[in-house]
Amino acid sequence: MPSANQTATAPKKKTILDLQQMKDKGEKAVWVVAYDACMASYAEKAGMDMILVGDSMGMIVYGYPGTVPVSMDMSIFHCQAVRRGAPDTYIIGDMPFGSYHESSADAVHNAVRFLKEADVDAIKLEGGVAVKDKIEAICKSGIVVFGHIGLTPQSSAALGGFKVQGKSTAGALAVLNDARAVYEAGARCLLIEGVPEVVTAFVAKSLPIPVYGIGAGVRCDGQVLLAADLLGMYEAFTPKFSKRYMNLAHDVTNAFREYVEEAKAGAFPAPEHMYKYTGDEAELQKLFADYKFQL
Ligand code: KIV
């Protein structure tokens, strides 16, 4: 029985095997980063292959300068909302900074929370060689892991900012080592962020698992963009690699401005936005005349 969001012809929710098959057939997968039920429902209707509930919520939703302050509870709440909005879409929970760094036991415990409490299909975590043991432990517990290497925003302080990675030979080698570590640890997919295309393309061709990119060129197995970037919602910063498909910030600001003007002028609400009193008019007037507010 299809759910409310599914039309009779809509494809069923993807599995990790579908994602692997897409790579094997040379079919690109497209995903978007979203944090709420409303946006998730649009992504599902548009036929998005996956939704990542990214820790970029720290900046976009909560107004922090980076992703570090995001907590497990925040991530879980947003994953629950996205699952309610997109019941038939493959959803990836993003493990926040500090939720997988202390020990493998901690990493497994927190990854399990995503599945049990928010019904996500997979989790993503940042890092390669440095977190190989954590990826291994989570994979061994039967959870699908997406690796994330290259420009890893959680370690932007250590990287000296949101800096493109893999631009030099030594940098490219570090990306390759990270990619290999993620694959060897058992991750089923890999996301590469902010890396020259030539490096990403080599990884995507070399690894048997799907390799997706954000700011990493077109020669890989699919793309992810933040909904906030592609819709032009986030004005603080637009990365070079992102394409704006619309200017929502402009449209929303204009709509708010128009509402302020109309409401101040008494032009809103208009008759069509108001409810009608259907009782007896004379009785109402008598009620008003008799009624005393206890002020
Ligand atoms: O949190 C996020 O939005 C991400 C993307 C950069 C892929 O991890």
Q: Residue 101: left if φ>0, alpha if ψ -120 to 50, beta else—which one?
A: alpha
Is the Cβ atom of 49 under 6 angstroms away from ligand 1?
no
Q: Is 126 in the pocket of ligand 1 (CB under 6 A)?
A: no
Could you identify the atom of ligand 1 that is nearest to the CA of residue 226? 3
CA dihedral 48, 240, 126, 144 (to 10 degrees): 20
Q: What is the spatial distance between Cα 35 and Cα 150, in angstroms, rounded to a whole number?
A: 23
The finding on whether 229 has its CB within 6 A of some atom of ligand 1 is: no
Q: Is the CB of 152 under 6 A from ligand 1?
A: no
Q: For 178-204, write each residue's pLDDT tens digit.
A: 999 999 999 999 999 999 999 999 999
pLDDT in tens, 131-149: 999 999 999 999 999 999 9
pLDDT digits (tens, 9 = 90+) for 23-48: 999 999 999 999 999 999 999 999 99
CA gap 238, 269 in Å, rounded:
36
Q: What is the DSSP letter of 125?
A: E
Atom of ligand 1 nearest to the CA of 54: 1
Task: Tell me what pLDDT residue 4 has.
Answer: 53
Give per-residue pLDDT as tens, 147-162: 999 999 998 888 888 8
Reported as a single tens digit per residue, the pLDDT across 88-109 is 999 999 999 999 999 999 999 9
pLDDT, residue 7, reads: 52
The residue whose C-alpha atom lies closest to atom 8 belonging to ligand 1 is: 54
Residue 54 alpha carbon to ligand 1 centre in Å: 5
Atom of ligand 1 nearest to the CA of 148: 8
- For the chain, domains (ranges, CATH) are 16-250 (3.20.20.60)
The confidence band for 292, taking pLDDT boundaries of 50, 70 and 90, is: confident
Q: Between residues 6 and 205, which one has the greater pLDDT? A: 205
- Distance separating alpha carbons of residues 217 and 195, to the nearest angstrom: 8
CA of 18 to the centre of ligand 1 (A): 22
Give whole-number Cα distances, 60 to 25, 236, 247, in Å.
Answer: 35, 9, 15
Is pTM beyond 0.85 here? yes
Residue 239 is predicted with a pLDDT of 86
What is the model's pLDDT at position 9? Answer: 56
Report the nearest-CA residue for atom 4 of ligand 1: 54
